[in-house]
Chain A
Amino acid sequence: MREKEINKLKDYKYGFTTDIENIKAPKGLNKEVIKFISEAKNEPKWMLEWRMKAYERLKNLKEPNWQKPKYPKINYQNIYYYSAPKGTSNKPKSIDELDPKILETYKKLGIPLQEQQRLNGIAVDAVFDSVSVATTFKDKLNEVGVIFCPISEAIQKHPDLVKKYLGTVIPITDHYFATLNSAVFTDGSFVYIPKGVRCPMELSTYFRINASQTGQFERTLIIADEGSYVSYLEGCTAPMRDENQLHAANVELIALDDAEIKYSTVQNWYPGDEDGKGGIYNFVTKRGLCKGKNSKISWTQVETGSAITWKYPSCILRGDNSVGEFYSIAITNNHQKADTGTKMTHIGKNTKSKIISKGISAGYADNTYRGLVDINKNANNSRNYTQCDSLLIGNKCGAHTVPYIRNKNSLTNVEHEATTSKISDEQLFYCNQRGLNQEEAVSLIVNGFCKEVLQQLPMEFAVEAQKLVSISLEGSVG
């Protein structure tokens, strides 16, 4: 048994738990709990009202069930909606005051928070369960007017910006999980890039789930004002547990005239064991609004973790000449399931979108690309290019492509290409003959397959992501 545990840790090296005292809201979903969260975060009244509105709305909503991966009914009353390490809520945050256990946790995850060890050129917001525990390089960013802070802090310090934009891309009434998030969201990042500013460093948020039976309800809001640029990356990990934990995030991006947001995700939540026990339910709503003319939003995701991944990072191309991009790698192994893709809504004229999706399935896993290209009637001269490739390893896994196109304008150009291939025994034999073992061979072939997407990642993360791609498929052949 112990040996098995150790072996498992080798496969998923982020699977450890930090033993730390937590402050928790009572279990369950009700008004008291929402009040508890709002109070713990020192929120103004309008925010609590906003949450309550969402909560009222939630009562009339049902969980969607059109997705391919099915899951056992979630008991929403059996979840902790707020859990924070003692001493992290309320206090002014200085990294020196942080519990050394938390510092150690992030160090182990490869995200050192202390001054002297910080990652060069990357500002990090570290979210531990329901709270942001530290944000680095805040002062340096302040010098150019960039605001990068936990959303809970932004609600207090920059209420005008938050009020103006929160919920404008994902309305609180959107759908079950988005509404749930609006009622109980805890932390996440807030980014504002002022007019004409090119953010001088990569911004990133590192999400860590630690406490058991706790859901994480991340809320992130990024606003790129006119002519600005920002590249943002999020990473995620969680301990190995037999239970399924829910991560239901809402991420909203807003790009004004001539602004560009590049949003990258490396998602490595605990995927469950090789029999499909445990793992995170990653049910996420991510949507970007290209509000201004010539604006651009680009999503890049590398999804290797989670028991179930269910998300469609989308772009609403409202500004004329705006551009939306979606680059995705979704890897499912063992009993993992993914139903992911994007929605490109063309509203403005000359809007362009590009979708490159690479799905890789191994073991007993199931991988679905689901996408919608929606061209509205005034979106003259819009274009979309979609390419969906699936790669199968072994013959017990599945891959599906569900591309919808809704075109109400005849002056448009929509192209779609799709391929499904399998790593053949012959290809593996060829690689083995040239000195590569099974794992090296699979890693080489898969990295080649995903190259177009990996290239989109910021340099600092591309190498990590490449390794992650290989590790997630270990043991998938032979």
Chain B
Amino acid sequence: MLEINNLSAKVDKKTILNGLSLKIKPGEVHAIMGPNGSGKSTLANVLSGKKGYEISGKVNYDDKDLFELAIEERAHRGLFLAFQYPLEIPGVNTSNFLKTSLNAIRKSNGKKQLDALEFLKIVKQKASELKIDEKILHRQLNVGFSGGEKKKNEILQMSLIEPKMAILDETDSGLDIDALKIVAKGVNALRNKKRSFLIITHYQRLLDYIKPDFVHVLMKGKIAKSGCMELAEELEKAGYEKI
């Protein structure tokens, strides 16, 4: 699904990712942990196509050279990023944004556009599954949302879009216990043989609910250590110093 080879990324001559390699097969769930500033969000941004990085290395996504694809093309091909800090867009109605996004992706995949009613039915159902208050759908996108509401809104979008490869950047940070379970539930509900996840987190707790296949530690711009759930437990106890 995703094969990262010797990926480096610089901003203003400062190296942030430094020869990172990682392979994610269809159906696998990978977790990435690592200290603040180690480059986790940068990895997520580079993969989804954010501009402003000087990049070297190779990334293959779904049998394509990822860097040949525009940001929206990556999205059309099933790459999804749940943002660490979802953006506020004043004036834009949340429900309308979700519908426009979903329809843009459906259109690029030759699927029929959903009309307002069809969409409403689906979004209401997903929202109730995720215990998201429908009221946020009528508000301006992320404007005045609480931290938790913003994160849940990202998961709602993920469950609408049903991506092939979902990257979650600290979606669990700042969530209460119930919300954390909702996020985990959102991920687990989508999990299948074809769909892959890359979950960036600081805490073992989310991983307890999701049970990833692999856990990696990102330090100084590369994968410093890989393992399974036990690695996350170790880190929780001893921190990053020993690695």
Chain A contacts to B: CB under 8 angstroms: 421, 424-427, 429-437, 440, 444-445, 447-451
Contacts and interface: CB of A to CB of B under 8 A. Distances in A.
Contacts of A435: 72, 75-76, 101-102, 104-105, 108, 161
A429 B104 contact: no
B87 interface: yes
A444 B52 CA distance: 24
B91 interface: yes
Contacts of B80: 433
Interface string B98-142: 001110110010000000000000000000000000000000110
Nearest to A432: B71
Interface core residue of A426, A433, A440, A445 (most chain B CB under 10 Å): A433
Contacts of A430: 83, 86-87, 89
A425 B49 CA distance: 12
Contacts of A444: 89, 92, 96-97, 100
A450 B50 CA distance: 27
A448 B89 CA distance: 9
A451 B75 CA distance: 27
Nearest to A441: B72
A454 to B, nearest CB: 11
Nearest to B97: A444
B90 interface: yes
B89 A437 contact: no
A448 B140 contact: yes
Contact of A434 (B75, B90, B96, B140): B75
B83 A421 contact: no
A445 B91 contact: yes
Interface in B44-95: 48-52, 70-72, 74-76, 80-81, 83, 86-87, 89-93
B100 A436 contact: yes
A328 to B, nearest CB: 16
B157 interface: yes
Contacts of B100: 436, 440, 444
Given A434-B75, A444-B92, A448-B89, A429 B97 contact: no
A432 B89 contact: no
Interface in B149-186: 157, 161
B91 A437 contact: no
17 contacts: A427-B89, A429-B51, A430-B87, A430-B89, A431-B101, A432-B71, A432-B72, A432-B75, A433-B48, A433-B49, A433-B74, A433-B75, A434-B101, A444-B89, A448-B90, A448-B96, A451-B91
Nearest first, the 7 closest Cβ-Cβ pairs linking A and B are A448-B91, A448-B92, A432-B71, A434-B101, A435-B104, A435-B105, A430-B87
